[in-house]
Structure 1
Amino acid sequence: MSKIRKLIGFALALAFAMAMLPAMAFADTSYYDLYVNGERFTSDNLAIECGEGTATYDPATQTLTLDNASITNALGSGGIYSGLTSDLNIVLQGENRITFDDNMGVMATGNIELSGSGSLTIDVAGETKDGISAAGNVSVHGTTLNINAPGGIGIASDGSVFVDNAKLTSHALYAGVDAVNLTIKNSSVVDISAMENNCNAAFISSRGGAPGGNLSISNSNVVAKSLFPGLFASGNLTVDGGSVQSSSTVNSALWARGDLTIKGGAKVMLDGAYPAGCVGDFTVYAAEVDAKSTNTGNIPALSDSPVINDDFELTHAVAVDSEGTTIDLIEHDGVEQAKGFLHLYKNIHFITGEKSVTYSFPFTKVVKKGGDIAPGKQEFELEIFNVGVGQIEDYADVTVTASVATNGVGEYEGLLTIKGPKSQVRDITCEGFCVREKNTGVANWTYSDAVYQIFCHEYEITTDAQSATQSSCEIFPVKLVETDNGAFYEKSQDTPVASMIFENVYTEKAAPAEGDKPDTDKKPAATTKPAGKKKTTAGKIPNTGDSSAPAMECAALLAIAGVLAVGLSIKKLHGGRSAR
């Protein structure tokens, strides 16, 4: 009975092992939810031929590398389809293409990032067929992406689109870019367009109640063309540096339902049939704006006059009215009036630049005489250090002057002046800065070791319904204090002073008069020498002029005599011992 049980047990184990063999063999192959050119990547197939090029996949990093790939086949939707739960990184090497008559270019259920030294051209036709369609974000970083989607959208994202130091061309029917947010930065070059009525080259809008709708362009060159606003943002639209050309054939060239901000010296060119602008605040910092209305009626180029930030000023404003007359608004109306007229003309070209401000702080130079000779003409200079942001050497556009010329003993008044762009001067002074005297090392002068710290405060004042920014400053003497974290300057008193004081002393001594000099050429007269015996020439000590020399001579002779006496005594003792 026990043998039967053993046989049954062995048979069951064998059957179980045999049953497990197919499952184990199946488990050895991993299938990835990533398809390229009609094929699926597996652990046994990590390289797919794409024309004369290849597509390879690294599952460890979820990186798809296209190397001169030509993708013309699809299994379902998209020449590249990703159902991966995490990001898909597409690295481009060489020239890559995705071409379809009736299909998508790239589809992903998550985020997509394209990078690499190569390029990708997506040319897809067919109704509602998009170049790239992603449920997550789409990032184009340091590479070249060209999309032509005449029946759909160039890049359609349910998340945000980022273009960073990249070249992007996206021409489509409904939108070049349709996303929740769009960020273009870091010297990117972007050319986008849409051909359908009521559509935008860039349609940026929040979805499902989530925050979004923001469009940001910084230090990049963007061209946007469409029938409706070339650039549309349901939130805020910001242009910071670089250049933007936005146009519309039947509507506003550019529009934001939130705020519109132009700064960083950006050059913005607008061309539309209706005024460009925003629902929120239209604010301009440093910028150049050239806006034109193509409407045959008397329709202005801007919907409202922009508010120029307090740190900036209008430097150029030339308008063209409905009759084609050119008007220099600053020359005709003055700067302040012209700022309120920028939205009244069919063509307005204006430039703003940062204001220059000057801060001045008094100081007193005290000159004292510390030697025999009165001080003459001398120039002293102060320097600033420990500024609010960075180092003073960082501010090439800021000029610091603080010198005073003195002529003799007395007190001399001077001014420390800081002049430059308002924002830069604010950065220097915002957290306080220190002042000391430069030690130029001129002979016979002692330099002041006094150090002061100056704090500046800005505040708003309102008069006649207008507000302006004013500043006040406080000056405190400070001293260097050693702490566990290093040496720092701290106030030596809590009460500010009206002026900085630096004291210098001139210490040159007068040369002795001719009669006051000791006569070292004459020897003492013979009568001044003490009497003494003459020595033979051989034992004579040179006369140094010292009256104590004879005594020294006697001492020397006595010492010699003592040495001789000791020597004789030793000789006698030595002779007695040897006789024994």
Structure 2
Amino acid sequence: MKKLLSIILCTALVLSLFSIMPVTVNAAQKFTYGNWEYEVHSRYDSKTYESYDEIWLTNYTGDDEKVTIPNEIDGKPVVFLYNNYIFGNTDPNNKDDRHFKNHKTMTELTIPANMRYIAGWMLMDCTALETINISSENKYFEYKGGVLYAKQANKNYNDTINGIDADPDEYGVVFARFNMGVVNLPTSVTTIHSYAFYNHQTLVNCVMPVGKLKKIEDYAFYGSSLRGMENLFGITSVEIPYGVTEIGYSAFMYCKNIHCVGLPNTLKKIGAQAFLETSLTDVHVPSSVEEIGYQPFGYARSKVNIYASPALKAKIQEENNYQVNTDPAYGGGGGGAAQAIQLNHDPANPLSHIYIASTSIPPTCTTDGLMIYLCECGYQYFSENTILPATGHKWKTKKVYPTCTEQGYTLTYCENCSESSKSDFRKPYSHWKINDPAVEPTATTAGKTAGVHCGDCGLIIEPQKLLPPTGYTEKESGGVKVTAKPEATPTVNEITDEAQLEAIKVEGDNKVDKAYDIKLTEGGETVQPEGDVIVKIPGGDEKAKVFRQEEDGSLTDMKAGYNADDDAMEFVTDHFSVYVVTSHVPTAYDLWVNNEQITEDHLTVQCGEGTATFDPKEYTLTLDNAQITQGAEKDYLGTGILTFLDKELTVVVNGKCSITETGGDGIGSYEFDEDYNMVPHDIKVTGDGSLTITESTALYGYGFYCTGKLTLDGVDITINSAATGIWSKSLAIKNKSHILSQCSSRFSGIVVNNGGFNLEDSMVVAESTEGVGLLLGNDQDSSSLMLSSGSLTLRGQCGITSDSENSRVGVTGGTLTIEAVQRAISESISDKEGAIVLGEGVEVISGGYSEKGVVISDSKGGTESYILGDADGDGEVTINDVTSIQKKIADLEVENFNDKAADIGRDGLDITDATSIQRYLADYKDGNHIGELITE
């Protein structure tokens, strides 16, 4: 029967490949070129209206260790590497002859410029392949980290052979080198192609990205040694990330090292035999699944507990009866794979509890909250009916009208959060030109030439030039030119006394540059001019101003203009006094980058080979491949990007950016008021690039130190700090952000001081070598963690702790993973009733709250929380639990026996479980935390 079953499975494998190939491929004539077999295919270009031929390689028969794919054959481009027979073109039973004849010896492969498609099964048994070279002119492939990726790849094989245009956003895994243990896929991966990790015998874990990854194709991990994450008790778990919609045929078949798999609520399809012959013990099938192939689970070495909705359970039962089997080794009894699964109901609804109290985690604009009802027995009830829906944004609109130089738009903003957008842009108005008529001078009054100015904004388009009185002459004194009657003499003295200059008070963005005392004498007496005269003071610019000091000390603006021809400030006056020339002081913004303050005339700072540019209208700082290496002297801690702005600073990350060893913090604010209260400054980081913050040498070097709200929106950030990686009053991480926050000391991976930590649709890892993964609140204020989607991994001596008695942890979706040396969640949280809240379908599936390792997730099936090792159910781990296990093994009735808590090794109840508890009790006397046991 086993032999018959293997033949059937093998036949299914072959037929599945035939099903994706058109018949016309098989009919193509075969040719040879050296050691290559190929076909010639004619294609039609609808843009040029011309036909052309291209080469599709089907086999390689050589035995070279280094193989180079030809770029052309007979002048025709070589574009495909595929084989339409799974066992090659020779003997279908000789696996050594399939695809590449030298698949066991080929160590290096070179891909030419024209190659745009490689079928995954062509490389699946190339176990010796270590290096792949790609032509610099090839735009379809990329090889990095031992993995071959297809970029701008076609959606699937049928699309490829039928000439359907490539998807520019597609970025898929084609082949992973077999001598790698852990593979970290980049965030841009959208597809894991067929056979990418086929039979990969040294694969330990494949870290799949959250968000863009949509599809895991047929046979992607078939027969590999994939284990995923492993807890203290040897239980392995593979996470299929949020965003994946389809798992293909036999994608994880024969992955016998997998005990648990997490399926996201974005999953729509599970292919036939996707998890057949694995070691799964628990599977939670999300209600989002619409299509399930035959025998998706079963034939495992132990019965699989499957948690699903009634409709999905019926479908799984039907599909697992697809094939009748009477072999006892595979379940027996004629039920086929159905004998190897156990279908369970959804989490039970409460029955006769008496609810005496309630508590809640409030919703935000975009994340659900949760209402929890507490029974007098201590039971907490929550379900999909107690979820508090996200409030949704409270949108308002505001019209911003265009000006002469600025476009108008409609601003849509949320009253409850910082989200906003602009639409309905309107072009700037043209200047409203007003003609300024010429004024003819007289004998005693100055005139003007014609000019033009804008009636809306006042911009001088064509300046009017002054014309001196016809009866006056221009005379110079002390470098200043003055028009006066021929018999009058001007005297100009520059004021240099610093005290006198400081006594002159000017307003606005001006500063005193120089001052002149101008007098006019005639016949030995001081006189004032008759009519208007012209004065020209050298220097200045278009932003300079001239003021006349009156007898009471006040200043009168002379409306002076800059005469570029004479390089002088020019104005008209009817009497002389002290005249003050001021220059424009550029606006200085409370923002420092790379130890340079941003000012009106210094908006761009050079940062290594890149730049940081500030937009004062949008309060946006854009980093373009910036390398920041200096901290602001303004801040004694030396922060790379320091903000004291009165509005939220948005940092946009483009390209590869870094902040390295500035002597203090990477990005932040550190300002106090007169009463030594912290001044809040909000920061938002977004952008398509990556940012690395390294502050490993300074004792108090933080990655982020944000005294207000910190928002990380769709950004890729890596932090390596001596102190806390991220410290903020409140924290929001969303929109497929990828955050790694590492602390190398006794501080924390992340600290949220007195606000909420909301995480959605993102992947975050926070770890501390000697401290805590996540610290909530302070000794006066509480904080809360709200995880609705995505994943949060916390590592440290303790996973989560709080300095406040009222901090909470809420998980309504996504995955919270804690790996702690001492405790997963400290007593300050776990001992408070209602402090840890799990939404409908969100369960503790590995360990308990007080163990070292705990995983809380909505994407896995599991059990209710229990104390591991507490076999008799009395709430403690004692020698009585050893006795209970022994009695159970001896088939004696044991009251309150909990087989799940008792099965510590997760390999079936046996005497080893009792021995493990005895060893534990010999070292740990408090009898509560079996999770601190490290088994052999």
TM-score range, shorter chain: 0.3 to 0.5
Task: Answer with 1 or 2: which has the greater Rg.
Answer: 1
Taking CA–CA contacts closer than 8 Å with sequence separation of 6 or more, which of the two structures ends up with the larger relative contact order? 1
Structure number having the greater helix percentage: 1
Structure number having the greater strand percentage: 1
